[in-house]
A = this chain, B = another copy of it.
Amino acid sequence: MPRVYVTRHLHFSAAHRLHCDQLNDQQNQTVYGLCNNPLGHGHNYELEVTVVGEPDPVTGMVIDLKKLKDIVEKELISKVDHKHLNHEVAFMRGLVPTAENIVVAFWQILKDKFEPCRLYELKLYETPRNMAVYRGE
């Protein structure tokens, strides 16, 4: 049976501030620059969720992408959309909200939600020019 990767794009808008409590103010400023601005800034995040599996021999689908979208919106997007990622997202408590940390945290939320398919990759665009990818490695 062929293995096919299917991807759904989703998006959310959120505020964040790059600031690490283990660093002092001067260090935070040096490490994060403009992104350390105390009142935060924000992004239109674009998220691509890729699942891999064998198309069902009857339905021809690896997974119903409408259902995948509903799951991701319920389990993830509803918790981060129009939120401040430093202060309002329980599963990110204590994490500096870099794209790298966000995409790994999202993986923990989503990794078991698509069985019997397997979550293959999360791609997170912070801007159209910057992105982070995690594959559970």
A residues with a Cβ closer than 8 A to B are: 2-9, 11, 13-16, 18, 20, 22-23, 31-35, 37, 39-44, 50, 55, 58-62, 64-66, 81-84, 87-88, 95-101, 103-104, 107, 127-137
- Chain B residues contacting A9 (CB-CB under 8 Å) are 128-130
Contact (A83, B39) CB under 8 Å given A58-B23, A98-B59: yes
Q: Report the separation of the CA atoms of residues A73 and B31 in the bound assembly, to the nearest whole angstrom.
A: 20
Q: Report the separation of the CA atoms of residues A132 and B58 in the bound assembly, to the nearest whole angstrom.
A: 18
The minimal Cβ–Cβ distance linking A13 to chain B, given in whole angstroms, is 5
The minimal Cβ–Cβ distance linking A78 to chain B, given in whole angstroms, is 10
Query: Could you list 30 examples of A-B contacts with CB < 8 Å?
Result: A2-B104, A2-B107, A3-B135, A4-B100, A4-B104, A5-B132, A5-B135, A6-B99, A6-B131, A7-B131, A13-B43, A14-B42, A15-B84, A16-B42, A18-B60, A20-B59, A34-B81, A37-B82, A37-B84, A39-B84, A39-B88, A42-B43, A44-B127, A44-B128, A60-B95, A60-B97, A61-B98, A61-B100, A62-B100, A65-B130
